[in-house]
Amino acid sequence: MNGRLAFDISWVDPERARGAELAATWASLRVTVSSDSEQSACLTEIHDRSTGSAREYVFVPLYPLAEWIVSNWWHILYEPEGIELNRTSPDFQRRHNMLHAGDGYFFPSVVLIADGEGNDGLIEVVPEARSTPLRRYILPEVPFLAIETVRAREDLSAFVDAVVGRLEDRGIHGTYLQDEWSEILRLDAELGDFCRYTAMAGLDPNDIDDETANEFARIAGIVPRNEWNALFSNAGPSLDSLRAAATSLVSSKEHLQSVDLATPVVSDLRERLRGFEAPRPWLSGYKIAREVRTMLSIEQQRFGSFESLQHVFGLQDAHRDEIMRFVPDLPVDGVVGVNTAGGLGVDMKARDGNEAPHNFLFCRCVAEFLLNGSDAQHIVSRSKNARQKLNRAFAAEFLAPAELLRTSVSTPSVSLEEIEQLGVDFGVSVMVIAHQLENHRIAVPEPY
């Protein structure tokens, strides 16, 4: 994916704008997103209600937008949706939505969301509706927009540099924007890492006390660097939750190093899926699940029991307890790793006697093993970052394939009793069945 977030700027007469920074940076602004997999989308196309005309640019001062980008730099680039903070929460919106550049100007409502994979990841670009009595932004008809994080960083940097350069050309110095941008550019690698990972965990690197910073650094030292993404994008912002998750990664690794058991079925699947790229998490999860079912020649199979699910992945009863452990006090849903024989190793949070949650969680863990090309451990959690969306979609489609559900449902709406029976048949919860019916447009579940 070679997308770009392009800011096309033409400086214009500020007319009666108040404030030197605003007057100096008044411009027509056109923002577009392009990629090699989707058509280009304009994020600033406006419909003027009074004239009925449309244009692809907005007249605004650029200082507020550049200041917002710099103030939220680390969050925009590295903070995924978390357990507590998702894209609808006010704090998350404030840090990720362009409209919060504010100052009363009509900036587009565009949410920039990192996927939790750091510099190797993607930034999802989510346009949202915004209007006034006189004008409205026209939403692009592209279902999914994303660009690589490194390119987003380059494009946002170029925009801020352009605004800072405009201020300097107009003899304006010492603004908050200029001072903060200089600080970011001067950061060395170590401080840059600190800012990146604290933001990934949901903490604010610009507003953190020494005690918290020191404890955060101590927690980071508990696990290998190649597991920092997994830790900080899935367990935060509480230091207690981060510490507990880090300790679980250590415990799981110690167990894996004592296990020398191959798991040829899932290991072979993992090798065959090596190099799989997943720009759209949920669609990729569906696709991988279908491919795995085909590879295993089980297109029509249903899993009414946890035992039958384990057997299809080649886990034998005699060694199951070494490969898969239930940990009652596990602070996350699961930890997935590789044992000394290159086989699957899983720690899962203990559930009640109902097998449906076990089925779903185990499949999420299998998805993490299949797509993890290294020996680093990964976390399965309630977070909403890209990896968790993918493993949830994999589990839902592997256990309750859309095509099998279509053959089981013959009406446009489905009652709660029917959904419950489908859950029993497929070995999943009512919620999984309901989501599959809705997401694949098979039927409309009745309220439950």
The answer, yes or no, to whether residue 278 has pLDDT greater than 70, is no
E-strand stretches of 58-174: 58-61, 109-114, 122-128, 135-137, 146-148
pLDDT digits (tens, 9 = 90+) for 303-359: 978 888 999 999 877 777 889 999 989 999 999 999 999 999 999 997 765 666 889
- Evaluate if residue 15 carries a pLDDT over 80: no
Per-residue confidence (pLDDT) for residue 352, from 0 to 100: 65
pLDDT digits (tens, 9 = 90+) for 221-231: 999 999 999 99
Picking from 24, 29, 25, the residue whose alpha carbon sits closest to that of residue 45 is: 29
For the cut 90, the answer to whether the pLDDT of residue 39 exceeds it is: no
Residue 155's SS3 state is helix
Q: Is the pLDDT of residue 420 over 80?
A: yes
Average pLDDT over residues 419-435: 91
Round to whole Å and give the CA distance between 358 and 279.
28
pLDDT for residue 1 is more than 70:
no
How is residue 169 written in tokens? 């050309």
Question: 271, 360 in Cβ contact below 8 A?
Answer: no
Q: What pTM was computed for the model? A: 0.91
The Cα 290–Cα 293 span in angstroms is 5
Q: Is the model's pLDDT at 406 over the cut of 80? A: yes
Calpha distance 252→301 (Å, rounded): 32
* Distance in angstroms (rounded) separating the CA atoms of residues 109 and 117: 24
Give the pLDDT confidence score for residue 224 in this predicted structure: 96
Task: Report the relative pairing of strands 146-148 and 122-128 from DSSP bridges.
Answer: antiparallel
Give the Å distances, CA to CA, from 258 to 67, 73, 255, 322, 420: 52, 42, 5, 9, 41
* Long-range contacts of residues 212-220, Cβ cutoff 8 Å, at least 24 apart: 212/239, 215/239, 215/243, 216/242, 219/243, 219/246
Residue 372 has pLDDT above 90, yes or no: no
The pLDDT tens digits for 124-174 are: 999 999 999 989 999 998 878 899 999 999 999 999 999 999 999 999 999
pLDDT tens digits for range 181-201: 999 999 999 999 999 999 999
How much is the average pLDDT of 365-374? 90
Predicted pLDDT of residue 279: 61
- Tokens 């030292």 map to which residue? 221
**Domain boundaries, given as residue ranges, for the chain:** 4-183, 264-399
Q: Report the chain's mean pLDDT, rounded to a whole number.
A: 91
